[in-house]
């Protein structure tokens, strides 16, 4: 199976294509994943494959477990004391959910971008230097190179190269979010998790970040939660539709983005994308 | 991945955890040392007659009966002056003044500045103003009023923060019912802010009971039974100081008094809490 | 109906006036305090004599020599020593409470800190005098010393540092925690490089308030420091703090001597206010730093 060519309906402008797009090789293989917070099940028996180099959009109404799903993938759920995760997530022949998984290493390979930009209250440079140092890159020169490359990758370099030592909090919202993406990709992760990365930004910044996400395709496997169906159509290769049944989140439909939007298999999906529900 | 540096980083992380735990353990052990010391050396000398009888031989023998009476009288004077004024000003600041108006800001800043004054300086002020200028002399009244000045700022600030934290809908609700502001304050706002008021009161009581420096030159040293509020009276904290510094062989009595003082502070705190709890809950249901 | 409402309005007006008068009274209290301190210190301040607080050769009230400098140095040395020890221990306590201790332990630990904060200073003094001083005396006589004062003050201000740090650290937005976790940073790096920098202003202002408290502390210092008027040259020197001096000599001080003690009180108050002012400035200026996390 080859990748669907971009249909004009959901391509935004002319995007420079990097390496050939995604291939249907499972990068993450999720089987029977359930998440409970205390007695409340928020996600029930989700199984799907995330394909390498592709952008997978998770869509659905609020509270249907999309964000919970996303945070199990890099074990952010560990921080929630009453969270209980069952099932399996295979990544590189290992089950992420195994207790012996090295969480720090895992998070180096699976980066995450949050809804609200969260640069640390440090200088721009220090924001990027911190993860590099932490993951054992001792040479100052190598770090400088990597910082420049990451900033170029997110299109920030020419905007901030003359003020790397100023506080990251002085940047605009859109710039902050791109800095956060730079901070995540500087560790050269294989997978990027994005939790509504554009929803806290103004339309113009949002457009820039969206372009950036599209450019990441091929180099990174991206899983993006979005409430913006148009955005999902524009950026994603695959889409997964979540819905809440009796207060429990379930995966309703998963497939190629275009197919899911054009010919939804499930009536709930059809209702949601046509705006009748949700 | 350079695994060596990764393990170094993990080692640093573990060392850091150990350090944090060690600090917490240090604080806990020292607290146990201080309290344990007081309990072990103090409790053995506590008898009923120690608590009720008058001190003799400069406090080496006898008890602390008169001193307890003076302490409680000083505390009563301090709270009697501080509570009404404190509650009044707190209500005024949060309910009657326009937020951030010039006058209320001035009063607010004044309170913060007053809260910062060291207690020994309150002692100087009390000596100059209450004892000499107002002619109250070295008396329980001067001492209590000095303490009232000292605890007012913190009491007002905690009450005020409690009142401002009360849900604004309740104010609107009371207004919509045609309640006067006074009635709304009495029946709705004060009960709702009770926890903060209690907290402020406890802080005030704790400070007033523990205070020594502000009392040495205001309520004085005399360890007889006070005949009136204008008599000098020795507070328990002053007694401990005097026994350990000025009376050789007074250590045992000092420890016993320290034990009583700490017990008293804990006792007063819990009583204040339960009393005010009950009072406010009665107001809510009875009215 | 109308009558009732005017009556209640009248109550409101009266209440407002009474309470306003109380507010005024509180504001006047500060004026009173400053006025009486100045009034009593005036004989020395007015005669230009206040310069001799800094120039006079030592503190010999009987010979009309009122050199406060040795005591000022002693007070500063105590407060600095105490905050240097209490800051790391206090912040570590706060970190333990928030990030290391399981909830039940954290609850007990918070209780312990409050208990420590509630212990009267005279009790710390008693403990210091009978437990700590003898230990120090075995290293270096006489035991009552700058070191003893620093250690007792440290214990007294640890709760202040710890509780203000807890407040500052728990105000750090959870997005920063999540961001640091998602990068695979270790707990130490998360705390030292992200959380503490974000809470820096609150921690520093708490430390300043604690320093002010150590400077103003009288009884504990009076009981363990030895009370010899001299500029401290080693940790084992017995020294006298400004506050202790007031407590020791007020009982018999007359005329200029008494005025000097009030002047010392005034000086102390000014230093403490200065510290509090800086602390509140730091907190205010930090208001906008974390504004993005609205």
Size of interface A-B (CB pairs under 8 A): 11
Closest-CA residue of chain B to C265: B121
Distance from CA of A214 to the nearest CA of B (A): 28
Per the prediction, chain B carries an average pLDDT of 85
pLDDT tens-digit profile of C173-228?
988 999 999 998 999 999 999 999 999 999 999 999 999 999 999 999 999 999 99
What b/e string do you get for C60-96 counting C-beta neighbours within 10 Å, with b at 16 or more?
Answer: ebeeeebbbebbbbbbbbbbebbbebbbebbbbbbbb
Among C181, C185, C197, select the one facing A76 at the smallest CB separation.
Answer: C181
State how far residue C72 is from chain A, nearest Cα, in angstroms.
Answer: 38
Q: By CA distance, what is C178's nearest residue in A? A: A76
Q: Cα separations (Å) of A270 from A39, A63, A118?
A: 31, 19, 35
Question: Is the Cβ of C95 closer than 8 Å to some Cβ of chain B?
Answer: yes
- How high is the pLDDT of residue B203? 79
Nearest C-alpha neighbor of B62 from the set B74, B45, B75, B76 = B45
Q: How far does B16 lie from chain A, in Å, by closest CA?
A: 15
C18 within domain boundaries: no
Determine the pLDDT at residue B116.
85
User: What's the DSSP call for residue C291?
Assistant: T
pLDDT class of A6 with cuts at 50, 70, 90 = very low
Q: Does C249 touch chain B (CB under 8 A)?
A: no
Helices (H) and strands (E) in chain B, counts: 12, 2
- Report yes or no: C107 at the B interface, CB cutoff 8 Å: no
Chains contacting B (3 or more CB pairs within 8 Å): A, C
Q: How far is CA C235 from the centre of its chain?
A: 21
Q: Are residues B133 and B151 in the same domain?
A: yes
Q: What's the domain count of chain C?
A: 1
* Kind and range of the H or E run holding A222: strand A221-225
Sequence ranges of the domains in chain A: 9-100+111-118+190-274
Q: How far is C91 from chain B (nearest CA, A)?
A: 9
To the question of domain A9-100+111-118+190-274 being in CATH 3.30.70.20, the answer is no
Q: For B173-207, give one letter per residue: b (16+ CB within 10 A) or e.
A: ebeeeebbbbbbbbebbbbbbbebbbbbbbbbbbb
Q: At what angle do helices A203-216 and A173-185 cross, to 10 degrees?
A: 20
**Do residue C26 and residue B111 have CB atoms under 8 angstroms apart?**
yes
* A105, A121, A187: residue with CB nearest C197: A121
Confidence of residue C292 (pLDDT cuts 50, 70, 90): very low
C42 inside domain? no
pLDDT of residue C123 exceeding 90 = yes
Secondary structure (3-state) at C30: helix
Q: How many CB atoms lie within 10 A of CB A7?
A: 11
Are the beta carbons of A134 and C184 separated by less than 8 Å?
A: yes
* Chain C CB contacts of A137 below 8 Å: none
Q: What is the pLDDT of residues B107-121, one digit of tens each?
A: 878 888 888 899 999
Residue A57 predicted with pLDDT over 90:
yes
pLDDT (tens digit per residue) in C245-287:
999 998 888 888 898 899 999 999 999 889 888 888 888 777 5
Residues of C in contact with B111 (CB under 8 A): 26
Question: Residue A4 has what pLDDT?
Answer: 42
User: Is the CB of B21 inside 8 Å of chain A's CB atoms?
Assistant: no
- Among the residue ranges A21-25, A169-173, B214-218, C21-25, the one predicted with the least confidence is A21-25
Confirm or reject contact between A116 and chain C (CB < 8 A): yes
Task: Tell me which residue in A114, A117, A121 faces C198 most closely, judged by beta carbons.
Answer: A121
Give mean pLDDT, residues C127-145.
93
- Which residues make beta-bridge pairs with A49? A29
The predicted pLDDT at position C6 comes to: 58
pLDDT in tens, C86-105: 999 999 999 999 999 998 99
Judged by average pLDDT, the poorest of A53-67, A86-100, C57-71 is: C57-71
Whole-number pLDDT of residue B163: 84
Contact B217 C33 (CB under 8 A): no
User: From the CA of A118, how many Å to the nearest CA of chain C?
Assistant: 6
The Cα C98–Cα C101 span in angstroms is: 7
Nearest CA in chain B to C115: B31
Q: Which residues of A touch B5 (CB under 8 A)?
A: 136, 138
Domain span at residue C274? 52-293
Residue length, chain B?
287
Are the beta carbons of C186 and A116 separated by less than 8 Å? no
Chain C residue with Cα closest to A78: C181
- Supply the DSSP symbol for C61: G
Domain harbouring B87, CATH code: 1.10.3720.10
Domain with B243 in it:
48-286
The answer to whether residues C223 and C120 touch, using CB atoms and an 8 Å cutoff, is no
pLDDT at B286: 42
pLDDT over threshold 50, residue B254: yes
Farthest CA pair distance, chain C? 82
Which two structure tokens, joined as six digits, stand for B88? 């009044």
- Mean pLDDT, to the nearest integer, of A151-176? 91
Is the model's pLDDT at A102 over the cut of 50?
yes
Q: How far is Cα A228 from Cα B129, in angstroms, rounded to an integer?
A: 71
Q: What is the mean pLDDT of residues A103-107?
A: 89
Whether residues A134 and B5 touch (CB distance < 8 A) is answered with no
pLDDT tens-place string over residues B124-135: 999 999 999 999
Averaged pLDDT, A152-160? 90
Q: What is the CATH number of the domain that holds C261?
A: 1.10.3720.10
At residue B277, the pLDDT reads 65
Taking only the tens place, the pLDDT of each residue in B255-275 is: 999 999 998 887 776 776 666
Using CA atoms, how far apart are residues C157 and C220, in angstroms rounded to an integer? 12
Tokens of B118: 């060291």
Q: A107–C183: do the CB atoms touch at under 8 Å?
A: yes
pLDDT of residue B282: 56
Q: How many domains does chain B divide into?
A: 2
**CB < 8 Å to C173, chain A:** 118
Tell me what pLDDT residue C214 has: 95
Share of chain B above pLDDT 70, in %: 91
Q: Which of A192, A41, A8 minimizes the C-alpha distance to A114?
A: A192
pLDDT at A5: 42
Q: What is the mean pLDDT of chain A?
A: 86
**Mind listing the pLDDT tens digit for each residue in C28-81?**
888 999 999 999 988 887 776 667 777 777 788 877 778 888 999 999 999 999
- Chain A residues inside the 8 Å CB shell of C292: 116-117, 119, 169, 173, 176
pLDDT reading at B105 higher than 60? yes
Task: Quote the distance between the C-alpha of residue A24 and its chain's center.
Answer: 18
**What is the DSSP-derived secondary structure letter of residue A19?**
S
pLDDT band at B206, cuts 50/70/90?
A: confident
Pick the more confident residue, A7 or A70: A70
CB atoms A114 and C182 under 8 Å? yes
A117 and C CB contact within 8 Å: yes
pLDDT band at C293 (very low <50, low <70, confident <90, very high): very low
pLDDT at B94 exceeding the cut of 50: yes
Query: Distance between CA atoms of A111 and B162, rounded to whole angstroms?
Result: 43
Chain B interface, mutation test: which of A106, A131, A136, most B Cβ atoms within 10 Å? A136
Q: Enter the ipTM.
A: 0.87
Instruction: Verify whether the Cβ–Cβ distance C293 to A116 is below 8 Å.
Output: yes
The mean pLDDT of B182-202, rounded to a whole number, is: 82
Phi, psi of C199 (to 5 degrees): -100, 10
Residue A134: closest C-alpha in chain B? B9
First to last CA, chain A: 33
Q: What percent of chain C has pLDDT over 70?
A: 93
Closest of A171, A61, A176 to residue A113, by C-alpha: A176
Q: Distance between CA A53 and CA A220 in Å, rounded?
A: 5
Q: Which tokens go with B195?
A: 């926890």
Average pLDDT over residues A195-207: 89
How many Å lie between the alpha carbon of B53 and the closest alpha carbon of chain C?
A: 22
- C187's tokens: 């707990």
Distances (CA, A) of A275 to A32, A241, C210: 29, 14, 59
Contacts of B181 in chain C (CB under 8 A): 12, 15-16
CB < 8 Å to B16, chain A: none
Q: What is the DSSP string of A21-63?
A: ---S-EEEEEEEEEEEETTEEEEEEEEEEEETT-EEEEE-STT
Q: Which of B4, B8, B9, B10 to mutate to test the interface with A (most CBs of A within 10 A)?
A: B9
Average the pLDDT over A236-251 and give the result.
Answer: 90
pLDDT for A2 equals 41
Bond prior to A41 in cis (omega within 30° of 0)? no
E strands in chain B: 55-56, 61-62
Asked if B11 is an interface residue toward chain A (Cβ–Cβ < 8 A), one would say no
Inform me whether the pLDDT recorded for B159 exceeds 90.
no
Q: Does A135 touch chain B (CB under 8 A)?
A: yes
Q: What is the pLDDT, as a whole number, of residue B283?
A: 53
How many beta carbons lie within 10 A of that of residue C128, not counting itself? Answer: 27
Residue of B nearest to A187 (CA): B1
Q: Compute, in degrees rounded to 10, the torsion defined by CA atoms B63, B67, B68, B69.
A: 120
Residue C12 forms part of a structural domain? no
Q: Compute the residue count for chain C.
A: 294
Q: Alpha-carbon distance A30 to A45, whole Å?
A: 10
Where is pLDDT greater, at A12 or B54?
B54
Over residues A181-190, the pLDDT tens digits come to 999 999 899 9
- pLDDT at position A13 over 50: no
Q: Is the pLDDT of residue B22 over 60?
A: yes
- Higher per-residue confidence, A277 vs A6: A277
Nearest-CB residue to A134 (from B1, B2, B9) = B9
Average pLDDT score over residue span A226-248: 90
């Amino acid at each position: 199976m080859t990748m669907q060519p971009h249909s004009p309906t959901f391509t935004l402008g002319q995007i420079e294509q990097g390496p050939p797009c995604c291939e249907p090789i499972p990068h993450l293989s999720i089987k029977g994943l359930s998440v409970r917070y205390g007695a409340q099940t928020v996600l029930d028996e989700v199984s799907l494959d995330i394909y390498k180099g592709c952008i997978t959009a998770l869509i659905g109404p609020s509270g249907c477990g999309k964000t919970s799903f996303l945070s199990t993938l890099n074990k952010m759920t560990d921080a929630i004391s009453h969270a209980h995760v069952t099932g399996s997530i295979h990544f590189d022949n290992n089950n992420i959910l195994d207790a012996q998984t090295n969480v720090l290493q895992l998070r180096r390979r699976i980066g995450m971008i949050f809804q609200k930009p969260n640069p640390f209250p440090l200088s721009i440079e220090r924001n990027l230097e911190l993860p590099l140092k932490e993951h054992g890159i001792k040479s100052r020169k190598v770090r400088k190179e990597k910082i420049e490359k990451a900033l170029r990758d997110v299109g920030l370099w020419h905007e901030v190269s003359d003020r790397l030592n100023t506080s990251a909090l002085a940047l605009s919202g859109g710039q902050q979010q791109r800095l956060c993406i730079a901070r995540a990709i500087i560790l050269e992760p294989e997978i990027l998790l994005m939790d509504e990365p554009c929803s806290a930004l103004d339309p113009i910044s949002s457009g820039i970040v969206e372009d950036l996400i599209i450019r990441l395709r091929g180099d990174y496997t991206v899983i993006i939660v979005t409430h913006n169906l148009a955005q999902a159509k524009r950026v994603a290769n695959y889409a997964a539709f979540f819905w809440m049944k009796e207060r429990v989140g379930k995966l309703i439909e998963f497939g190629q983005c275009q197919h899911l939007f054009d010919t939804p298999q499930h009536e709930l999906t059809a209702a949601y994308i046509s705006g009748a529900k949700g | 991945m350079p695994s060596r540096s990764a393990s170094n980083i993990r080692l640093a992380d573990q060392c850091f955890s150990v350090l944090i735990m060690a600090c917490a353990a240090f604080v806990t052990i020292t607290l146990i040392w201080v309290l344990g010391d007081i309990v072990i050396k103090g409790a053995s000398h506590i008898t009923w007659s120690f608590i009720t009888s008058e001190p003799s031989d400069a406090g080496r023998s006898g008890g602390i009966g008169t001193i307890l009476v003076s302490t409680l009288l000083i505390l009563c004077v301090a709270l009697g002056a501080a509570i009404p004024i404190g509650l009044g000003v707190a209500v005024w600041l949060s309910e009657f003044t326009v937020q951030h108006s010039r006058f209320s800001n001035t009063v607010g800043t004044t309170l913060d500045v007053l809260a910062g004054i060291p207690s020994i300086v309150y002692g100087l002020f009390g000596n100059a103003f209450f004892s000499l200028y107002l002619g109250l002399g070295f008396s329980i009244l001067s001492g209590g009023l000095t303490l009232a000045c000292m605890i007012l700022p913190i009491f007002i600030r905690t009450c005020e923060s409690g009142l401002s934290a009360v849900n604004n809908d309740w104010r609107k609700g009371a207004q919509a019912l045609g309640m006067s502001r006074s009635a709304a304050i009495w029946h709705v706002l004060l009960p709702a802010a009770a926890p903060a008021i209690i907290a402020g009161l406890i802080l005030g009581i704790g400070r007033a009971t523990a205070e020594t420096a502000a009392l040495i030159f205001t309520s004085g040293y005399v360890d007889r039974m006070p005949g009136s509020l204008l008599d000098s009276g020795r507070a328990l904290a002053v007694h401990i100081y005097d026994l350990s510094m000025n009376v050789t062989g007074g250590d045992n009595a000092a420890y016993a008094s320290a034990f009583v003082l700490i017990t008293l502070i804990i006792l007063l705190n819990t009583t204040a809490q339960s009393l005010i709890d009950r009072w406010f809950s009665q107001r809510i249901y009875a009215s | 109906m109308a009558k009732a409402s005017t009556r209640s309005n009248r109550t409101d007006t009266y209440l407002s006036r009474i309470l306003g008068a109380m507010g005024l009274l509180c504001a006047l209290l500060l004026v009173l305090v400053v006025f009486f301190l100045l009034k009593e210190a005036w004989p020395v301040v007015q005669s230009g004599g206040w310069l001799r607080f800094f120039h006079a050769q030592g503190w010999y009230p009987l010979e009309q020599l009122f050199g406060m400098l040795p005591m000022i140095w002693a007070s500063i040395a105590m407060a600095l020593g105490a905050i240097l020890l209490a800051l790391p221990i206090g912040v570590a306590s706060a970190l333990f409470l928030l990030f290391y201790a399981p909830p039940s332990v954290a609850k007990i630990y918070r209780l312990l800190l409050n208990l420590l904060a509630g212990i009267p200073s005279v009790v710390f003094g008693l403990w210091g005098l009978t437990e700590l001083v003898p230990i120090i005396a075995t290293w270096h006589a006489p035991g009552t010393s700058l070191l003893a004062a620093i250690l007792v003050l440290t214990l007294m201000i640890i709760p202040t540092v710890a509780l203000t740090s807890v407040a500052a650290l728990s105000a750090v937005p959870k997005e920063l925690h999540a961001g640091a976790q998602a990068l695979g940073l270790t707990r130490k790096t998360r705390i030292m490089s992200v959380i503490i920098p974000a809470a820096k202003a609150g921690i520093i202002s708490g430390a300043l308030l604690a320093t002010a408290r150590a400077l103003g502390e009288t009884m504990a210092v009076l009981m363990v420091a030895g009370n010899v008027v001299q500029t401290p040259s080693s940790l084992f020197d017995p020294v006298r703090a400004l506050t202790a001096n007031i407590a020791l000599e007020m009982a018999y001080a007359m005329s200029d001597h008494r005025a000097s003690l009030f002047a010392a009180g005034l000086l102390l108050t000014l230093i403490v206010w200065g510290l509090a002012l800086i602390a509140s400035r730091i907190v205010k200026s930090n208001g906008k730093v974390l504004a993005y996390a609205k």
